[in-house]
Amino acid sequence: MNSAMDSLPIDMSHPAVRDYLALVRLQVLTPLSLLINIAAVLVCAVVMNPSIGTISKIFPTSLTPSFPVISVYVAAMYLGQIGFCVLLVLARKPETKNTLTKGVGTWIVFANWVMAFWAVAWVFKWFLTSVILQGILLILLLFCNISLLTYHAPTTKRPLDMALIHAPLRFFFVLQFGLMFPLALFVYLGLTYTPVYDGTPIDYEKYAWPGFGVVFGTNLVSLLVIVLRRDIVWCVAATWICISIWTLRPKPQAVYITVLIFTIIHPLGLIAGYIHAHFYSRSEVENGNVENGNVALPGDEHPGLRTIHPSNEPRSTPRDGEGRAREFDAEAVWGS
């Protein structure tokens, strides 16, 4: 294969050729990995017995979400990834292609495969494998999102990039960060309740504080991101996960109250972030510290950079103390 490629009259080391091949590779591998991901999750959720939802019922935790609510979340995430695959084919702008090949790259391909393997491990009760796979998935998506935000930041000039690249990957990451990885870890560590079907009450306060620590910590991080970055996608994702947790009851009181409060705080934090940004930029303009899009700090003007405008007016004649013109004494000036 390599010899055949080398025989082609194309410079394979040229950056444009490499970028083109990287895009073609993603156009093939990404839809395939997404198809495997969706098929594996659907089979394990609908066909297999026990299914993904059944395992969650057999091993309930303080973080277990409502299956219908989280299913809608996952469906929205998959729909966004389908749009991502369409954009891979239809992208024409160099900036968009650069974001797809260098910002996302094969991170999303590996993430989809890992998600598919996790679904199989979960229904077969391989909980240690499930935790490891969720950890790998979390790391993959973390690096992918950091790469996107650092080198290919979302911009309103390319709304399709925001909707079909940044949003699906952010949704995918927040799902693992805020729910899936902690949930798999809780099940593996045995922080579960034994389901009782004879009407005997279950002590749901047994593992309340580990659950509280997880939901408080993850949602606090989410709130900071939402306020500081004014991230609408993260706000929707984090709020959705909170709703999925408190809609499945009973829950420990500490967990239930925490996710209920953050369901309200996340949107308020987003609004507060936008209000602060609006008034801060407005005050900068009013104070004259913003000039042509740049912030002019007080004291920046160096004396040596001041422009001295020459005057066309004649030099004023020296005058005496009473304002009358006086003549120069040449000998006094130059000496006798």
Going from N- to C-terminal start, the domains of the chain cover: 12-196+205-280
Full-model pTM: 0.79
pLDDT for residue 10: 63
Residue 322 to residue 214: CA distance in whole angstroms? 86
Token pair for residue 132? 């490891």
Over residues 193-214, the mean pLDDT reads 76
Q: Render pLDDT for 138-147 as a digit per residue (tens, 0 to 9).
A: 999 999 999 8
pLDDT for residue 304: 40
Residue 113, sorted as left (phi over 0), alpha (psi -120 to 50) or beta, turns out to be alpha
pLDDT for residue 319: 54
Confidence grade of residue 29 (pLDDT, cut at 50, 70, 90)? very high
Residue 302 predicted with pLDDT over 50: no
DSSP string over 4-50:
HHHHSSS-TTSHHHHHHHHHHHHHHHHHHHHHHHHHHHHIIIIISSS
pLDDT for residue 193: 84
- When the pLDDT of each residue in the chain is averaged and rounded to a whole number, the result is 83
Instruction: Write the single-letter amino acid at 35.
Output: L
Residue 16 to residue 25: CA distance in whole angstroms? 14
Residue 107 to residue 137: CA distance in whole angstroms? 10
Over residues 219-245, the mean pLDDT reads 95
Over residues 294-311, the mean pLDDT reads 45
Residue 185, sorted as left (phi over 0), alpha (psi -120 to 50) or beta, turns out to be alpha
pLDDT for residue 41: 96
Q: Render pLDDT for 269-283 as a digit per residue (tens, 0 to 9).
A: 999 999 988 887 766
Over residues 165-183, the mean pLDDT reads 95
Task: Count CB neighbours of 50 within 10 A.
Answer: 15
Q: Are 108 and 147 in contact (CB under 8 A)?
A: no
Residue 333 to residue 228: CA distance in whole angstroms? 69
pLDDT for residue 288: 58
Alpha helices (runs of H) in 15-163, residue ranges in sequence order:
15-42, 52-58, 67-90, 94-98, 107-123, 127-151, 159-161
Q: Hey, is 271 helix, strand or coil? A: helix
Residue 58 predicted with pLDDT over 70: yes
What are the φ and ψ backbone dihedral angles of 180, each rounded to 5 degrees?
Answer: -65, -45
Q: Are 269 and 223 in contact (CB under 8 A)?
A: yes
Q: Render pLDDT for 92-125 as a digit per residue (tens, 0 to 9).
A: 888 988 889 888 988 999 999 999 999 999 999 9
Q: Which of 16-30, 154-168, 233-247, 271-285 has the highest mean pLDDT?
A: 233-247
Confidence grade of residue 331 (pLDDT, cut at 50, 70, 90)? very low
Token pair for residue 321? 């103390």
Over residues 204-220, the mean pLDDT reads 91
Q: Are 112 and 176 in contact (CB under 8 A)?
A: no
Over residues 236-249, the mean pLDDT reads 95
Residue 298 predicted with pLDDT over 90: no
- Give the H or E element holding residue 334: helix 330-334
Share of the chain above pLDDT 70, in %: 76
50 prior amide bond cis, ω within 30: yes
Over residues 80-85, the mean pLDDT reads 95
Over residues 59-68, the mean pLDDT reads 92
Residue 135 to residue 185: CA distance in whole angstroms? 9
9 prior amide bond cis, ω within 30: no
Higher-confidence position of 111 and 301: 111
CB-based burial of residue 171 (10 Å sphere; 0-12 exposed, 13-18 middle, 19+ buried)?
buried
Q: Are 105 and 84 in contact (CB under 8 A)?
A: no
DSSP, res 296: -
